[in-house]
Amino acid sequence: MNSLIFLLLKQIRLPIMLLIVSYAIVILGFVLIPGQDDQGNVWHMSFFHAFYFVSFMGSTIGFGEIPYEFTNAQRMWTVFGIYATVTIWLYSIGALISTLQNQAFKKILRENDFRKKVQRIRDPFYLICGYGDTGKLLAHELSENHILSVVLDIDSERIDSLQIEEPDVEIPALAANASFPEVLETAGLTHKYCQGVIALTNKDDVNLKIAITARLLNKERMLGEDLMVVCRAETAEAEANMASFGTTHIINPYEIYARRLALSVRSPSAYLVYEWLTNPYHNVRTEPVEPPMGTWVICGYGRFGKAVSRHLNYIGVKTVIIEASPDITFPPEGAIIGRGTEAVTLREAKIMNAAAIVAGTDNDANNLSIVLTAQDEVKRHYLGKLRNKEHINKYGARSFTETINNSDDLNTKGNRKGKLFSIARQNFSRNEAVFVKADLDFIMQPANIVAGEILSIIKTPLLSVFLSLARRQKDQWANILISRISSFIEDMAMTWMVEISHKQTPAIMCFIKKDTITIGHILRHPRNRDKSLKCVVLLVRRKVNEFTELRHKMPNFIFSDKSHTFLLPDDDFEIHEGDQLLLCGDKESMHLMCWSVSNVNTYNYLHTGYELAGGYIWRWIHKHKLLRQEKKTG
Amino acid sequence: MNFEKVSFAFFVVFALTINFGFFIGEIDNPAHHHVYELFAAIVISLIATVIKLGDRSHIGAVLLATSLVADIHLFAAAIIWGIAEHVSTTGVTPDVMSTIVSVSGGALIANLTSVVLLVIETVVVRR
């Protein structure tokens, strides 16, 4: 702030100097010019009177000629003085205002304001670099969950849009280049309450630089796993580079989506579980979508196309690539050159025989065009085949081979009825309305994927552990889980985490030393303990160096380096201090469970079935009653 | 040589010399201390202050501080003079004069410090 005042003064140094000089000249003139007093004697103005007179003259207040009426010589000097001082005043004020309006000065003002806001933060917060589609989504979700965030973006228009939107929690934002370390420091990278840095800019090298800066400026905190660094990476090289210096989470939307797509082909039920748990804000889809296993046509062999085709090939799905500029992307042999928006290219890729189309270019209009053209082409082909068949049925085949070909085609593709499984990549969220209207089976939205992934890392870190374990399970396992979850969830599936600790579950901590506590205890309904809550424990994570002998007893036990995890534990599973539980259920159950594990009286009822007496006196009476009962029974 | 440096040194030294001109003489003799000299000292001191604004270096900050001290002293002297002449009935007596001159002596020291700092900076830069 101090430097701000000095900067302002430096900017208006010339006007101030001119004011001083003009005042000095005019004052001196009045003192030197002889005047007359009321008796007609020669009289010289003193400096005091001259200063007084010039002060109200210069500011055009004008009290009149004091203390005696002026002589003509004095009046001439006054005329000069008025024009000199008033002009310079106007110039000075103009200079001051233009300095305040100056873009550079305004920028410094904003920066100062931002720095102060960040310094004043006294709650954990996340630093988000990049306020594009993804950053916007993430910042708003965080603010809805009452988690603070600080936003940096190089584009001042985006920052302005944030200020107009007015989220629930105030988000300090600055338009600055996040690849400069001092900018990151201003934004609170080294702040005590900074929980993590999330690099979401659309340039991999900027994200990389942010990750390096975060690592170097917070050496101790990174080692203690106090600070989380999350990066968005769009190429495998950047991903490997980021991983090499300890970036906590690297999120590659294309890789994630391709993996999910492969999962949905391989095991539709497992994919449904995935969707339920990661998309808590959408209505639950009860029937899994079943993508076909046939040949897939992939348009665009960029980062997305590469990831999808690799994952599909891995699970044994054949792919045909269509690529417009093969000299940049180097598609594999047999790729068809073209944009895919024209029917000719699609026909060349044998779209009539394909099971699915993936429009994965970086142009939204082209993606829609590809899908629509392909769907039309397939439908036309199918109708033509139907007509042919009718024709053959009516008039008989012209040749033997034609009949065989036709019947072959119709038999293999007959069940699809001219429908093509379509997936399109939507690059910009502003195009959402069009994509929703288009007849698409899946829409790939990179922004949503990245934001959802980061949100789950921040809110429920165990979820990603659970999902990676779930991916290795069989389809049957997923089916059982689905039937379990869908039995009690109507519209919204919430996932949340509970840690058995004094801070989060004080009620359980009172009992855990004396008694064994099982998952069944926690999941009882706090209003009626015979009923159970509408939720399920998905995963329990336990720190290592305890209970290693459990390894042999528990069938669903999975070993990992730092901690033990138990997938879908039963009701009689024992919990210990320090365990982290991942739960899934409806919203009401979430609130009820959080209540019962933190309120001693409620939990006592769940555990013992008795209502606990509240005050000291009642507790004392209760104790004596119990003792007497014990004596009677012996 | 550039104009900025010349004007800077000019005003800093000028503030000292003109202040000294006012200060020199018998301390309680109004004939030795003219009001025009005090006026000039104030104006030059103010200009010197404005010229020093905006320098972010440490020595720049100290220079500005000495100038502000000199300004305060000279203003105090001028206010005492004005009160003695126009408000009180006594006028400028030798008593009042000695007060005014001793206050301006404070400004003289501040201006002297300013010049010493200027010389030190010049010696350090050696260009």
Beta bridge partners of A230: A198, A249
Residue A533 DSSP class: -
Burial of A609 by CB count in 10 Å (0-12 exposed, 13-18 middle, 19+ buried)?
exposed
Which residues in chain A come in under a pLDDT of 50? 1, 403-404, 406-415, 546-553, 555, 559-561
The pLDDT, as a whole number, for residue B10 is 93
CA distance A7 to A85: 25
**Contact status, residue A43 vs residue A36, Cβ threshold 8 Å:** yes
Distance CA A360, CA A152 (A): 29
Provide the percentage of residues in chain B whose pLDDT is more than 90: 57
Tell the CATH topology of A488-618. Answer: Alpha-Beta Plaits (3.30.70)
Q: Specify the pLDDT at position A398.
A: 60
Q: Which long-range contacts (CB under 8 A, 24 or more apart) does A435-444 make?
A: A435/A364, A435/A368, A438/A368, A438/A371, A438/A372, A439/A371, A439/A375, A440/A371, A441/A289, A441/A291, A442/A261, A442/A264, A442/A289, A442/A291, A444/A257, A444/A304, A444/A360
Q: How many CB atoms lie within 10 A of CB A572?
A: 10
| Cα A227 from Cα A204, distance rounded (Å) | 21
pLDDT per residue over A495-547, tens digit each? 888 888 888 888 888 788 778 888 888 888 887 878 888 888 888 888 765 44
CB contact under 8 A, B86 and A46: yes
Please spell the DSSP secondary structure of A344-379, one letter per residue: HHHHHTTTTT-SEEEE--S-HHHHHHHHHHHHHHHH
Q: Examine domains A121-251 and A292-440 and report if their fold is the same.
A: yes
Contacts B46 to A, Cβ<8 Å: 20
Q: What region, left, alpha or beta, does residue A573 occupy, with left being phi > 0 and alpha being psi -120 to 50 degrees?
A: beta
Give the one of B36, B54, B86 whose C-beta lies nearest to A6's C-beta: B54
3-state SS, residue A321: strand
Do A252 and A306 contact (CB within 8 A), yes or no? no
**Residue B46: its pLDDT value, please?**
93
Q: Give the fold, CATH level 3, of A292-440.
A: Rossmann fold (3.40.50)
Closest CA to A154 of A133, A181, A132: A132
**Distance of residue A205 Cα from the nearest chain B Cα, in angstroms:** 35
Q: What is the ipTM of this complex?
A: 0.75
> What pLDDT, on the 0 to 100 scale, is given for residue A490?
67
Question: What does the domain layout of chain A look like in residue ranges?
Answer: 2-101, 121-251, 292-440, 488-618
Distance CA A153, CA A144 (A): 21
pLDDT given at position A407 = 47
Q: Is A442 within 8 Å of A321 (Cβ atoms)?
A: no
**Both tokens assigned to A450:** 């990245």
Compute and round to an integer the Cα radius of gyration of chain A.
Answer: 37
A2-101 has CATH 2.10.260 classification: no
- Beta-bridged to residue A152, according to DSSP, are A129, A174
Those residues whose C-beta lies under 8 Å from the C-beta of residue A380, and which sit 6 or more positions away, are none
Chain A nearest-CA distance from B123, in A, is: 26
CATH 3.50.50.60 fits A121-251, yes or no: no
Per-residue model confidence (pLDDT) at position B111: 95
Question: Which of A3, A20, A47 lies at the smallest CB-CB distance from B50?
Answer: A20
Q: What is the distance between the alpha carbons of residues B26 and A72, in angstroms, rounded to a whole number? A: 39
pLDDT at A510: 78
In the numeric block, the tokens 């009820």 are attached to A592
Length of chain B: 127
pLDDT at B75: 94
**pLDDT for position A27:** 93
Q: Cα A38 vs. chain centroid, distance in angstroms?
A: 82
Give the pLDDT confidence score for residue A300 in this predicted structure. Answer: 86
pLDDT at B21: 93
**pTM greater than 0.90:** no
Tens-place pLDDT, residues B52-64: 886 767 888 899 9
Chain A residues touching residue B35 (CB < 8 angstroms) = 46-47
**Best to test chain B binding among A2, A3, A5, A6 (most B CBs inside 10 Å):** A6
pLDDT of residue A560: 47
Other Cβ atoms within 10 Å of A494 Cβ, number: 19
